[in-house]
Amino acid sequence: MRISPLRIWLQSTSLLAVVAGYSLLLLFNQQIAFQQRTAAHLQLAEQLVAELGSRASERSQLQPLLNAALLPGLRLQLMLVPLQAASTAALQSRGGQEWLVSRQPLEVADGSSATLQVEQNVTASVQQEWLALWLLVIAAGLSSLFTSGLLRLVLQRGLVQPLQEFTAQLAATQAPPLPSNQIPVAEQPEELQPIAEAFNDLQERLRASWERQRSFVDGVAHELRTPITLISGHAQRLLRQPGLEATAPSLRLIQQEALRMGSLVSDLLDLARQDSGRLQLRRLPILADEALVQAYERLAPSSGWRLHLDTPAAELPVAIGDPDRLQQCLAALIENALRYSLAPLPVTLAADCLPEGLVLHVRDQGPGVASHERETIFERFSRGSAAINANSRGSGIGLSVVRLLMEAMGGSVQVAEAPGGGADFQLHLPMIRPLEVPPSA
């Protein structure tokens, strides 16, 4: 169920309260006017009864007195049936006019009794009352509109704008949180100060937790480098010794796993350096054909010669970046493509040029990447549905390292659908500017 905005809810509730108040006021005003008119009518009827009772000594004199009375707006009718008690006034409509009708017992000096029916024409009074009622309704409507507009202004300045500013401050906070990201509590409205204090406390806890996590990852990665290097080195030395053919497969497996663990440790170190602001890359000219040939010659044998290299259709511009880090990105993407593209399907390296820079392609013929996952797979510890369905091994940090390295070089990494199906991972590098002279390595 969708909840309406708080501003609309407050404005609607306040407007309904104002309308309800005016409605009650109009009802009370109408009821009071009716009671006043009824009381005046009964008082007039009592005065007429007292006057007739004092002037008539017997009942036969009542009718001549009534005939002689000239009272505008009144109709007096004598009824010989005695009445025990006076009746209340009732409003009746006759021929488009409003009449108040009541009956009063009449006692004559000779001891006889009768009933006097008094009918008073109150049409003018009722019309005036309705006119006053409609004027009050119009005034209430105008007052409600004014109240609504004033309330909207008050809510805009007293609620919406402070919340928008508060939201902008929250959105400006970075990850990991920095001490400078603290929200100034004293500058917030009194109602938002507890929320600002709670958010600042949360940032402090997150910053401390982030620092502990970063220190742990950095320390563990450095500690693991030495034993992994020793394991890989001893495995290589044992493979070179004669007479160990029976254990060669196990030694090769040990060497491969040690290399994979070393690559994972390097990725963790890169993430830790990037988080702490210690990641430094070189800015050197990069030739696309040389970079692709280097990656091909280094990785084609281990890929079972599934790695193919396309010849560029035209001369490519010179890009700028870190050549070693670019090789690291290409190796990660090639390994990823080989993992999801079953043998003997090839993985192709290619390059082309766009107006904004150089693009290196790593294309496979695997299941591809769903459109809704083409951003999330570059997040840390995130894996696409293809990896889960294929039960493929992976740490979930390889592509995130590729993205942080490319962004550190001023470029980017994207994934699209490859021609004929599969995934097309693209490394975008900025072109070297004519006046830009990269520092020497």
Residue 182 lies in a domain: no
Residue 396 lies in a domain: yes
- Domain of 118 in residue numbering reads as 6-145
Residue 223 lies in a domain: yes
Q: How much is the pLDDT for 441? A: 47
Considering the domain architecture, whether residues 288 and 426 belong to the same structural domain is answered as yes
Q: How many domains does the chain have?
A: 3
Considering the domain architecture, whether residues 234 and 341 belong to the same structural domain is answered as no
Considering the domain architecture, whether residues 203 and 289 belong to the same structural domain is answered as no
Boundary of a domain, candidates 254, 276, 298: 276
Query: Which residues lie below 8 Å from residue 85, measured CB to CB, with a gap of 6+?
Result: 105
Residue 159 lies in a domain: no
Tokens of 29: 């005003």
Residue 438 lies in a domain: no
Considering the domain architecture, whether residues 129 and 224 belong to the same structural domain is answered as no
- Give the whole-angstrom CA distance, residue 336 versus residue 328: 12
Tokens of 289: 């054909």
Considering the domain architecture, whether residues 60 and 44 belong to the same structural domain is answered as yes
Residue 162 lies in a domain: no
pLDDT in tens, the chain (441 residues): 444 566 677 777 777 787 788 788 888 888 888 888 888 888 888 888 888 878 877 777 777 877 777 677 788 888 877 776 777 888 888 888 888 888 888 888 777 788 888 888 888 888 888 888 888 888 878 887 887 788 778 777 777 777 787 777 777 766 666 777 777 888 777 877 888 888 888 888 887 877 777 777 677 776 777 788 888 888 888 888 887 777 888 888 888 788 778 877 777 777 777 776 677 888 899 999 999 999 999 999 888 899 999 987 678 889 999 999 999 999 999 999 998 888 889 999 999 988 888 999 999 998 889 888 889 899 887 777 766 555 555 667 889 989 999 999 999 999 999 988 899 999 999 988 654 555 554
Boundary of a domain, candidates 253, 276, 299: 276
Considering the domain architecture, whether residues 259 and 306 belong to the same structural domain is answered as no
DSSP annotation string for 326-337 = HHHHHHHHHHHH
Give φ, ψ of 79 to 5 degrees.
-120, 125
Considering the domain architecture, whether residues 269 and 339 belong to the same structural domain is answered as no
Considering the domain architecture, whether residues 255 and 313 belong to the same structural domain is answered as no
3-state helix, strand, coil in the chain (%, to 5): 55, 15, 30
Pairing of strands 307-309, 347-354: parallel
Considering the domain architecture, whether residues 105 and 121 belong to the same structural domain is answered as yes
CATH number (domain holding residue 101) = 3.30.450
Considering the domain architecture, whether residues 230 and 311 belong to the same structural domain is answered as no
Pairing of strands 113-121, 74-79: antiparallel
Contact between 414 and 434 (Cβ < 8 Å): no
Whose CA is closest to 427, among 416, 417, 412, 408? 412
Residue 155 lies in a domain: no
For the question of whether the overall pTM of this predicted structure is more than 0.85, the answer is no
CATH number (domain holding residue 262) = 1.10.287.130
Tokens of 127: 């019309």
- Give the whole-angstrom CA distance, residue 66 versus residue 78: 8
Pairing of strands 284-286, 319-321: antiparallel
Residue 173 lies in a domain: no
CATH number (domain holding residue 380) = 3.30.565.10
Contact between 144 and 174 (Cβ < 8 Å): no
Q: How much is the pLDDT for 314? A: 72
Boundary of a domain, candidates 121, 145, 169: 145
Considering the domain architecture, whether residues 257 and 294 belong to the same structural domain is answered as no
Query: Which residues lie below 8 Å from residue 400, measured CB to CB, with a gap of 6+?
Result: 271, 378, 379, 380, 381, 382
Considering the domain architecture, whether residues 226 and 294 belong to the same structural domain is answered as no
State whether residue 358 is helix, strand or coil. Answer: strand
Q: How much is the pLDDT for 2? A: 47
